[in-house]
Amino acid sequence: MLQRDSAADGAFVFAVRSTHIYCRPSCPARRPLRRNTLFFRTNEEAESFGYRPCRRCRPQEQDESTSLVRRATAILAQSTEESVGIGALAAQLQTSPAKLRRAFHRSTGLSPREFSQALRLVRLKKLLREGANITEALYECGYGSSSRLYEKTNSQLGMTPASYRKGGTGMRIGYTLLNTSLGKVLVAATERGVSAVYLGEGERSLVESLREEYPRAELFRAAGQEPWLQEIVRRVEGAPPSLDLPLDIQATVFQRRVWQELQRIPRGTTRTYTQVARALGKPRSVRAVARACATNPVSIVVPCHRVIRTDGSLAGYRWGLARKQKLLEREAASA
């Protein structure tokens, strides 16, 4: 409730003695004093004690939202249209576009449009992994023509469909292991950009992680002459960026937005998960933001280490808390 975590919506509601209203846990309103707060399992329970539903967070719409999104998802998953307009979708569900938009925002943190894009990408990736013919897969997922798909997925998948096929079949990824003061760094890249930056001690486990991410790609040890290698090492040592690094990564729409937001955090500063969620205009998606940070494949380049908990503690880091701490200290010292 204190984090306004929408994942808790539906689990309970809280009521405020002084205002006689009750709210879902993610309500954006200011938090009441603890001594004025009561908790109930259900709306009915709160109402039986004389509390009225809040007009901002509309707890009574909870069940309706969930069922709307579930039904909308079923329609979108079946659809082979290039795009389903929110008006048409709302009409099919016998609701209003505004209500539908709110329902989506609440349960997924995305707009219906973003959600349907993400859904289509998931289906597309699945079909391609299963070995479907690319043209068939495209039509199946509602992309009008191959050229449009290539246009769209280039920015969303970070890979062309051909290279995404079957977990990276046909993709050539060169990796290099470098020594830094924070241990080994594995940098992997296609000819289009950097695909992975992992930190650790054991070369083998770093290479295995890469293989898990791209099980069917052709991985090879690169010559290690690329200019971005030294750039990444410099950044590990706390130096400011001196080169733009192109990325070639797989991401959902939401992950991409979070990672872009992380790249806006100035060196030497930190943000909390809550601040990042707010900056994205999705204050209730704190948990989803934390997940996106945890799954960032290109550490350092997407500086997920600059995100910390609201209480100032460092929270987790895929590559170890000690490394996160050092990175922050170095950046703060040289910023």
**Which of 98, 48, 42 lies closest to 68, judged by CA?**
98
Q: CA-CA distances (angstroms) from residue 298 to 8, 157, 264, 326?
A: 30, 15, 15, 18
Q: Which is nearer to Zn ion, 28 or 246 (CB)?
A: 28
Distance CA 252, CA 254 (A): 5
The Cα diameter of the chain in Å comes to 72
**Binding residue for Zn ion, selected from 13, 16, 46, 54, defined by CB under 5 A:** 54
| C-beta atoms surrounding 244 within 10 Å | 8
Q: How many helices (DSSP H) and strands (DSSP E) are in the chain?
A: 14, 10
Least distance from Zn ion to the Cβ atom of residue 290, Å: 23
Q: Which stretch binds Zn ion (CB under 5 A): 28-36, 227-235, 248-256, 259-267?
A: 28-36
- Establish whether 304 is a catalytic residue: yes
Q: Which is nearer to Zn ion, 5 or 248 (CB)?
A: 5
Report if residue 23 touches Zn ion, rule: CB under 5 A.
yes
Q: Which stretch binds Zn ion (CB under 5 A): 54-62, 68-76, 83-91, 314-322?
A: 54-62
Q: Which is nearer to Zn ion, 23 or 197 (CB)?
A: 23
Q: CA-CA distances (angstroms) from residue 257 to 109, 156, 159, 294, 314?
A: 12, 10, 17, 14, 22
Q: Which stretch binds Zn ion (CB under 5 A): 49-57, 70-78, 187-195, 231-239?
A: 49-57
Q: Which is nearer to Zn ion, 54 or 253 (CB)?
A: 54
Report if residue 13 touches Zn ion, rule: CB under 5 A.
no
Q: Which is nearer to Zn ion, 16 or 69 (CB)?
A: 16
**Binding residue for Zn ion, selected from 16, 57, 137, 182, defined by CB under 5 A:** 57
Q: Could you give the string, one character per residue 94-133, with x where binding to Zn ion holds by CB under 5 A and - elsewhere?
A: ----------------------------------------
Tokens of 261: 């937001």
**Which of 253, 11, 16, 237 lies closest to 114, judged by CA?**
253
**Which of 251, 235, 186 lies closest to 334, judged by CA?**
235
Least distance from Zn ion to the Cβ atom of residue 16, Å: 9
Least distance from Zn ion to the Cβ atom of residue 14, Å: 9
Helix (H, G, I), strand (E, B) or coil at 12: strand
**Binding residue for Zn ion, selected from 27, 100, 119, 159, defined by CB under 5 A:** 27
The interface with Zn ion within residues 159-218 (CB under 5 A) comprises none
Strands (E), the chain: 13-16, 21-23, 37-40, 52-53, 172-180, 183-189, 194-200, 218-221, 271-272, 307-308
Q: How many CA atoms lie within 13 A of 138 on its CB side?
A: 17
Fill in the DSSP letter of residue 279: H
Q: Which is nearer to Zn ion, 14 or 175 (CB)?
A: 14
Q: Which stretch binds Zn ion (CB under 5 A): 55-63, 127-135, 166-174, 289-297?
A: 55-63
Q: How many CA atoms lie within 13 A of 150 on its CB side?
A: 7
- Establish whether 141 is a catalytic residue: no
Report if residue 15 touches Zn ion, rule: CB under 5 A.
no
Size of the site for Zn ion (CB under 5 A): 6
Least distance from Zn ion to the Cβ atom of residue 285, Å: 17
Tell me which residues are annotated as active site: 23, 304
Q: Where does this chain bind Zn ion (CB under 5 A)?
A: 23, 27, 29, 54, 56-57
